[in-house]
Amino acid sequence: MNLSTGFFIAGTDTEIGKTLVAGALIVKLKEVGQTTVGFKPVAAGTYVGSDGQQCNEDVETLRVASGLDSQNYVLCPYVLDEPAAPHLVAEKQNIRLDCAVILDALGVLTAEFDAVVVEGAGGFLVPLNSQEDLGDLAQAIDLPVILVVGMRLGCINHALLTCEAIQSRQLSIAGWVANTLAEEMPFLEENIQTLKDRIFAPFLGIIPSLPKTLQKQANSPYSVDALHFAAQYIRLP
Ligand SMILES: Nc1ncnc2c1ncn2[C@@H]1O[C@H](COP(=O)(O)OP(=O)(O)OP(=O)(O)O)[C@@H](O)[C@H]1O
Ligand SMILES: C[C@H](N)[C@H](N)CCCCCC(=O)O
Ligand SMILES: [Mg+2]
């Protein structure tokens, strides 16, 4: 598969801000006139939405960012109930997470939208099944990758390992984003400089800690305001 526009959003880990950056990039692509949709290959962890349906917070954030208010489009082919490693939750439910099924669901969206922003799940090499992982999926999708670095102690090593893994799949890194998590880390600027010196891809910006009023509640999507706030601090590659 080779899409004309879009990005695969990889992260240094789970819970480091991929969804925030994916949503912000959708906002930015729409600002430059691209019809854009978000896609999540597999989501783990659900809550009961206002209509009584099982919802996932990442999928609902991508839906809000994409400006879709209905369930007309499948933004995630596998929504699993438990917030754990997807292949393990799937196995427990006798489901095999299949790259081909994911690519089919993505194909429906790419036929209708100018751009698609695909958010990975967890880190870059999270397994899908006993044979395939998200790196394989990213390779099959063949979109430029944007790496989100969650700025906390340990992120330098995680970021550099992830870059090596992305490059070993012959994928291009379109850029990287530094995301300041809830607590600002000591030596933040120095850590960013260390990464700038070692990641040979464009730096797309640093997202500050979200103001209290924009912080996400557990089991709910990001607000549109939070996505617009983050979008101000990053640029498109
Ligand atoms: N800039 C930020 N300021 C404050 N809190 C943040 C920021 N970025 C992320 N967070 C918080 O960190 C948590 C994880 O963020 P997010 O859900 O975007 O991560 P993720 O990488 O998409 O995780 P997953 O692997 O589950 O998809 C959320 O509770 C979010 O509110
Ligand atoms: C449930 C969680 N928020 C993510 N969607 C999945 C994270 C899987 C991490 C697996 C691992 O690397 O150990
Ligand atoms: Mg996410």
Pocket test for ligand 1, best of 18, 20, 76, 234 (most atoms within 8 A of CB): 20
Provide φ and ψ at 190, rounded to 5°. -65, -35
For tokens 């850029």, the residue is 175
Ligand 2 atom nearest residue 43's Cα: 5
Rounded to an integer, what distance in angstroms lies between the CA atom of residue 236 and that of residue 28? 7
Ligand 1 atom nearest residue 123's Cα: 25
With cut-offs at 50, 70 and 90, classify the pLDDT of residue 70: low
Q: How many residues does the chain have?
A: 237
Of the candidates 91, 65, 19, 111, the residue with the CA atom closest to the CA atom of residue 11: 19
* Nearest ligand, CA 38: 3
Mean pLDDT across the stretch 91-108?
A: 97
Rounded to an integer, what distance in angstroms lies between the CA atom of residue 150 and that of residue 229? 17
Question: Looking at residue 156, what DSSP letter applies?
Answer: H
Mean pLDDT across the stretch 182-205?
A: 95
| Predicted pLDDT at 4 | 57
Rounded to an integer, what distance in angstroms lies between the CA atom of residue 38 and that of residue 204? 19
Q: Which tokens is 147 given?
A: 């790496």
pLDDT above 70: residue 14: yes
The answer to whether the complex's ipTM is over 0.85 is: yes
52 is in an annotated binding site: no
> Domains, the chain, ranges and CATH?
5-231 (3.40.50.300)
| Predicted pLDDT at 3 | 46
Share of the chain above pLDDT 90, in %: 92
58 is in an annotated binding site: yes
Rounded to an integer, what distance in angstroms lies between the CA atom of residue 118 and that of residue 109? 11
227 CA → ligand 1 middle, Å = 12
* Nearest ligand, CA 227: 1
pLDDT above 90: residue 71: no
Radius of gyration, CA atoms only, the chain: 17
Ligand 2 atom nearest residue 121's Cα: 5
Summarised one tens digit per residue, pLDDT across range 126-152 is 999 999 999 999 999 999 999 999 999
pLDDT above 80: residue 201: yes
Summarised one tens digit per residue, pLDDT across range 109-129 is 999 999 999 999 999 999 999
Instruction: Tell me which residue has its CA closest to atom 6 in ligand 2.
Output: 122
* Nearest ligand, CA 20: 1
19 CA → ligand 3 middle, Å = 4
Summarised one tens digit per residue, pLDDT across range 19-66 is 999 999 999 999 999 999 999 999 999 999 888 889 999 999 999 999
pLDDT above 80: residue 214: yes
Instruction: Tell me which residue has its CA closest to atom 1 in ligand 1.
Output: 209
Known catalytic residues? 40
